[in-house]
Amino acid sequence: MSDIVNVSYLAVGPEIILTLGAVAVLLVDVFRKPSPRVHAWIAGFTLALAGVVAGFQWTAEPSVSFSGMISIDRFGTLATFIILGVAALGLATAWGMVERLGRRGAESIVLVFMAAAGFQLMATSQNLMMIFLGLEIASLSLYVLAGISRERVQADEAALKYFLLGSFASAVFVYGVALTFAGTGHLSILDLRQFFATYVVLRPGVTLAAMAMLIIGLAFKVSAAPFHVWAPDAYQGSPAGIVGFMAAAAKVGAFAALARILIAGFPFYQDVWSDGLALLAAISITVGMIMAIAQTDLRRMLAYSSVAHAGFILTALLGGPGGLAAVWFYLAVYTVQLIGAFAVVSSVAGPMGAQSPLSDYTGLADRSPFLAGALALFMVAMSGVPLTSGFVAKFAAFASAWAAGYEWLVILAVLASVAGFFFYLRVIVLMYMQEPAVAEAPGAAPARFQAVGAVRWVLLIAIAVTLLFGIVPGPLLDLVRNALPL
């Protein structure tokens, strides 16, 4: 490590811009009381500018700055790109909610920006304490977002549960940070690697316990079983418009941090942590698939399916550095599918709506062919049918685990994927092959739903991405292959 302290504003450029954008939204809101359109311009401009700065990061030489706290590398930059994209799509989906909230609409934009900045810090930090800070910034924003409607008891309940359990997980993570320091005397990921390469640890118990707790804290955020218990309630109770963002951004940030800590910090213990991750993956895939089948609410089903998907991404991570490309590809395409699915959900349930019983979706194809078609595509993609991005993602993940010697897990995952068809296809069957449920009031026609405004574009983009990277995955795979941590 050089003696000169390097300070590169580029390293935190996107986060600074997001923060300034958040401040701008708040100030304009206080002094001008503008229409939501003005907020939309500010938000769009902020995200675009952050994206441009992230583009500069992509071409910059990898480096570490702020006394080894933050790094510029393509690993973190790719995460920044995905998070910015997720934030843009998520905000567009939630725009109906932003408008509906009136004065508090600006708050929700600010919270989305803060959450995005937090997750980006998690992905770019080289220091466990910084990762923890990012985690908390993002988590606190998400807790508030979950309860932002304040009109419904379910939302408050969901937010409170999310907060309580999330604090629990944060505590475990920070305990893991403390134990890491206790065991090695280091908090920087690069120093950790150096330490393990230099010294022989005779009694690794403390260090291993620390590593386990770091894994658990992040596994909670990505909703891997058995640390997923918060997810179904949070997905179901939060405002429909924002759930997609909450779920997708958290997965990207937490998986990035997990991959960096384990691959860059603990490569010495790869045998140990990959066995542990394989265990978590197996539990997640099994629990997610089995529980998803019994759900009668689409959002709970998506929550359990996201548990299973967390398992698949863990499966990809088993390949170590060689599996990173599969992790990134999976994250990039799955987050888009997830936001797309929730865009449909929020069109049907309304932007503030809670609960999405499957009975809302019977016969949807006749009433809202575009929404039904889009949801059907996302279901097909999530189940991993060829010619969608979901197939390529699963294939890459399985290939990574197979190469790492986890054949048993791949077989289990393939079987679970087959079982998964059952509940994904059930949604499609409901939409296309069944009559709508009889309306309660005689003579009342079943409601027609439409994707309004920005949601329409979100759906079109999600559809395009899902099909494009299913048919032509090559360019994206090439791109993510470059995204290695320092």
The answer to whether residue 291 forms part of the interface with other proteins (CB under 8 A) is yes
CB-wise, 90 or 166, nearer to other proteins? 166
Residue in this structure with the two tokens 């708040």, named with its chain if needed: 26
Residue 89 corresponds to which tokens in the numbers above? Answer: 């799509």
3-state class percentages of the chain: helix first, strand second, coil last, to nearest 5: 80, 0, 20
Could you give the C-alpha distances from 285 to 144, 221, 282, 313, in angstroms and in order? 29, 16, 5, 10
Contact 16, 56 (CB under 8 A): no
CB of 75 to other proteins, least distance (A): 21
C-alpha Rg value of the chain to the nearest Å: 22
The answer to whether residue 273 forms part of the interface with other proteins (CB under 8 A) is yes
Contacting residue, 226, 321, 386, 453, with other proteins by CB under 8 A: 226
CB of 280 to other proteins, least distance (A): 7
Rounded to 5°, angle at Cα 216 from 184 and 158: 140
Could you give the C-alpha distances from 136 to 4, 22, 123, 158, in angstroms and in order? 30, 17, 13, 18
**Residues 150-179 vs other proteins: string with x where CB under 8 A?**
----------xx--xx--xx--x-------
Contacting residue, 230, 312, 334, 406, with other proteins by CB under 8 A: 230
The phi, psi pair for 116, rounded to 5°, reads -60, -45
The answer to whether residue 479 forms part of the interface with other proteins (CB under 8 A) is no
The answer to whether residue 370 forms part of the interface with other proteins (CB under 8 A) is no
Q: Tell me the CA end-to-end span of the chain in Å, nearest whole number.
A: 13
Contact 421, 308 (CB under 8 A): no
Total residues interacting with other proteins, rule: CB under 8 A:
46
Contacting residue, 279, 439, 447, 452, with other proteins by CB under 8 A: 279
Report which DSSP code applies to 4: S
CB of 237 to other proteins, least distance (A): 10
CB-wise, 121 or 277, nearer to other proteins? 277
Contacting residue, 10, 24, 28, 229, with other proteins by CB under 8 A: 229
Contacting residue, 14, 76, 276, 470, with other proteins by CB under 8 A: 276
The answer to whether residue 472 forms part of the interface with other proteins (CB under 8 A) is yes
CB-wise, 232 or 373, nearer to other proteins? 232
Contacting residue, 10, 178, 212, 467, with other proteins by CB under 8 A: 212
Distance between alpha carbon 179 and the CA centroid of its chain, in Å? Answer: 27
Residue 404 corresponds to which tokens in the numbers above? Answer: 């790492």
- Residue 417 CA to residue 412 CA, distance in Å, equals 9
Please give the residue ranges that form the binding site for other proteins (CB under 8 A): 160-161, 164-165, 168-169, 172, 203-205, 208-209, 211-213, 215-216, 220, 226-227, 229-230, 232-233, 269, 271-273, 275-276, 279-280, 289-294, 418-419, 422, 472, 474-475, 477-478
